[in-house]
């Protein structure tokens, strides 16, 4: 046994000590290397790793998860126990909770009348109605949602928003009177904004382990590093407005600061302990609503009411343009606050949100990182007076409120004024390419062999004055995605609009995209990002195209489309 332990120690130090260890295990199983896998299982049983596969990960301790929970719970103070009891209702009285429930039930019934269930029944009449099938689909959806978007499984408004009675009444009144609600991407009331000139105080109610607390604090540090906001942990008696982290009820938060200065709660259960999900809930606490509720939503996405679960139609209301504060930041498909394509669906394979431009479909719903526009809006709201002068930032950048002598740049750019293309990471790739009418080739690292996890490339494609950039994929294509969720995990992103600050179209999964993509200006930005695993990657052809040729192609495409529609109408 001692020899086996020594052997296993070497295996684990060389094989599972990196962040790719679990993925390597999956690869071993998929390739039927069963003998190696048996050895690894034996090693697991004969070494004292207590379930901690990522041995070099500082977030994991030597104790098991349940042991750590037990140890931490034994250290909860009397004050923390009182706070935990208050957290069960998010600090609300029984009367206030009843008011919120009353208004939300009124909204639910109103929306059910606006979008009758018959439409769903007609749409799903051809589908299997077997009870066992529906239950299996529901269980699969719940399982996957916990991994990707756990906040959707909450029992609160839009899944994870804990309303107070005043907010619930405002939404009810505007919904009943106007058929839509008065709310915004960012809450406008000054009473609900935090004072950016003072640290935002936070504490824990004792329900999180030390490693969970560290992940939460990493998310707070991320918000702090990219804005002018500061966060300060205090373990003293609670006497002022602060954020208290608990695990009492899934992923949930109030929106904005408590107007009376009372403590407020952010619930982060174990399934919510991911940096992206935590950043999402903290954004609610700082004042963010969900992206797809903006008043200009219909210009970007179409709600498929017939596909939405019967009791969830009130989750897709949108704002009125009155008193809206979006900070002049455009709609962002890549916002961490955006619903995914199949959120609150009646069935797990039905789209509830369709992007109006089809190639953005796999962009919405990500919970990996804050988008550039998420950060920009927070800085517009809280940090507009942080720097004495504004820099002439390029490529959609803006003066960094943390470092007033530099610009904060969109992904793909760097330099003091965002004038440079971001160099490749983990590979020699990317850069600025001056195009001509001849085709050029760009590929993922090591193509057609597999690229490695963590590699990044950024290309700025530049056409001559008066021309546009054309890109088309060809050959084999493979980038990791969640197929059933229609969501990219690794991706090629193409920014071809007039503003490189906006998240672009993301391409992933398996099978070469058929789109031929044109830039709106003389520039196009192409981003290759591999966060999760390696794969075959992509290759594409790029060239410059005169606007005259582009117009001919557009007219031809329009004529072909009309012909196809006419043919369809006559069949």
Neighbours of 514 (CB within 10 A): 7
Does pLDDT of 63 surpass 60?
no
- Indicate the average pLDDT of the chain: 78
| pLDDT score at 364 | 95
Angle between helices 165-178 and 94-114 (to 10 degrees): 20
Compute the average pLDDT of residues 234-245.
84
Does pLDDT of 64 surpass 50?
no
- Residue 46, CB-side half-sphere exposure with 13 Å CA sphere: 18
| pLDDT score at 18 | 38
Does pLDDT of 51 surpass 90?
no
Query: For 477-510, how does the pLDDT look when each residue is reduced to its tens digit (9 = 90+)?
Result: 999 998 777 889 999 999 998 899 999 999 999 9
Query: For 116-170, how does the pLDDT look when each residue is reduced to its tens digit (9 = 90+)?
Result: 764 444 334 333 333 344 434 433 444 444 456 787 777 788 888 888 888 888 7
Prediction pTM value: 0.75
Q: Are 163 and 102 in contact (CB under 8 A)?
A: no
| pLDDT score at 39 | 39
Show Cβ contacts of residue 236 under 8 Å, excluding neighbours closer than 6 positions: none
Does pLDDT of 443 surpass 50?
yes
CA angle 453, 27, 534 (to 5 degrees): 20
Give the residue numbers of the binding site. 280, 284, 290
Query: For 330-355, how does the pLDDT look when each residue is reduced to its tens digit (9 = 90+)?
Result: 999 999 999 999 999 888 889 999 99
Q: Catalytic annotation on 281?
A: yes
Judging by beta carbons within 10 Å of its beta carbon (0-12, 13-18, 19+), is residue 200 exposed, middle or buried? Answer: buried
Give the residue numbers of the binding site for Zn(2+). 280, 284, 290
Four-residue CA torsion sign, 148, 150, 151, 152: positive
Does pLDDT of 14 surpass 60?
no
Does pLDDT of 280 surpass 50?
yes
| pLDDT score at 563 | 41
| pLDDT score at 195 | 93
Q: What is the 3-state secondary structure (H, E, C) of 98-154?
A: HHHHHHHHHHHHHHHHHCCHHHHHHHCCCCCCCHHHHHHHHHHHHHHHHHHCHHHHC
Q: What is the 3-state secondary structure (H, E, C) of 404-465?
A: CCCEECCCCEECCCCCEECCCECCCCCEEEECCCCCEEEECCCCCCCECCCCEEEEEEECCC
| pLDDT score at 189 | 64
Does pLDDT of 255 surpass 70?
yes
| pLDDT score at 534 | 86
Domains (ranges, CATH) in the chain? Answer: 2-57 (no CATH), 84-386 (3.40.390.10), 431-555 (2.60.120.290)
> 522 versus 166: which is more confidently predicted?
522
| pLDDT score at 332 | 95
Chain CA centroid to CA 38, Å? 37
Query: Which position among 111, 281, 291, 493 bears the catalytic label?
Result: 281
Compute the average pLDDT of residues 7-34.
39
């Amino acid at each position: 046994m001692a020899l086996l332990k020594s052997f296993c120690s070497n295996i684990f130090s060389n094989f599972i000590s990196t962040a790719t260890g679990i993925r390597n295990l999956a690869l071993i199983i998929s390739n039927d290397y069963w003998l190696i896998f048996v050895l690894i299982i034996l090693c697991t049983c004969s070494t004292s790793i207590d379930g901690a596969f990522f041995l070099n990960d500082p977030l994991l301790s030597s104790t098991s998860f349940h042991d750590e929970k037990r140890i931490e719970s034994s250290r909860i103070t009397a004050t923390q126990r009182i706070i935990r009891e208050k957290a069960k209702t998010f600090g609300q009285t029984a009367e206030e909770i009843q008011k919120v429930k009353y208004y939300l039930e009124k909204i639910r019934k109103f929306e059910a009348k606006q979008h009758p269930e018959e439409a769903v029944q007609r749409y799903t009449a051809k589908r299997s109605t077997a009870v066992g099938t529906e239950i299996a689909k529901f269980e699969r959806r719940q399982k996957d949602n916990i991994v990707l978007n756990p906040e959707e499984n909450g029992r609160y408004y839009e899944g994870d928003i804990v309303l107070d009675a005043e907010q619930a009444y405002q939404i009810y009144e505007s919904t009943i009177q106007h058929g839509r609600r008065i709310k915004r991407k960012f809450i406008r009331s000054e009473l609900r904004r935090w004072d950016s000139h003072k640290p935002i105080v936070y504490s824990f109610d004792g329900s999180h382990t030390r490693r969970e607390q560290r992940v939460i604090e990493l998310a707070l540090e991320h918000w702090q590093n990219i804005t002018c906001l500061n966060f300060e942990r205090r373990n003293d008696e609670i006497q002022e407005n602060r954020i208290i982290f608990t695990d009492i009820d899934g992923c949930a938060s109030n929106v904005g600061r408590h107007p009376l200065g009372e403590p407020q709660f952010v619930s982060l259960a174990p399934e919510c302990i991911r940096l992206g999900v935590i950043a999402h809930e903290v954004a609610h606490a700082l004042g963010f609503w969900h992206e797809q509720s903006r008043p200009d939503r219909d210009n970007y996405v179409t709600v498929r009411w017939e596909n939405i679960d019967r009791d969830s139609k009130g989750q897709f209301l949108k704002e009125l343009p009155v008193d809206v504060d979006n900070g002049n930041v455009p709609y962002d498909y890549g916002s961490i606050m955006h619903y995914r394509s199949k959120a609150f669906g009646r069935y797990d394979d039905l789209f509830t949100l369709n992007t109006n431009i089809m190639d953005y479909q796999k962009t919405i719903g990500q919970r990996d990182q804050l988008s550039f526009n998420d950060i920009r809006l927070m800085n517009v709201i809280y940090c507009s007076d942080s720097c004495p002068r504004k820099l002439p930032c390029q490529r959609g950048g803006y003066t960094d409120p943390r470092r007033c002598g530099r610009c904060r740049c969109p992904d793909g750019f760097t330099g003091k004024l965002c004038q440079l293309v971001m160099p490749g990471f983990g590979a020699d790739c990317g850069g600025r390419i001056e195009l001509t009418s001849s085709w050029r080739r760009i590929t993922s690292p090591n193509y057609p062999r597999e690229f490695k996890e963590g590699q990044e490339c950024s290309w700025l494609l530049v056409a001559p004055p008066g021309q546009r950039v054309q890109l088309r994929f060809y050959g084999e294509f493979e980038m990791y995605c969640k197929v059933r969720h229609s969501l990219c995990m690794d991706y090629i992103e193409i920014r071809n609009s007039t503003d490189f600050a906006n998240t672009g179209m993301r391409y992933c999964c398996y099978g070469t995209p058929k789109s031929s993509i044109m830039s709106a200006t003389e520039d196009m930005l192409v981003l290759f990002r591999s966060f999760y695993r390696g794969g075959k990657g992509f290759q594409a052809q790029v060239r410059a195209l005169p606007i005259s040729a582009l117009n001919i192609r557009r007219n031809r495409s329009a004529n072909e489309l009309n012909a196809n529609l006419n043919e369809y109408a006559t069949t």
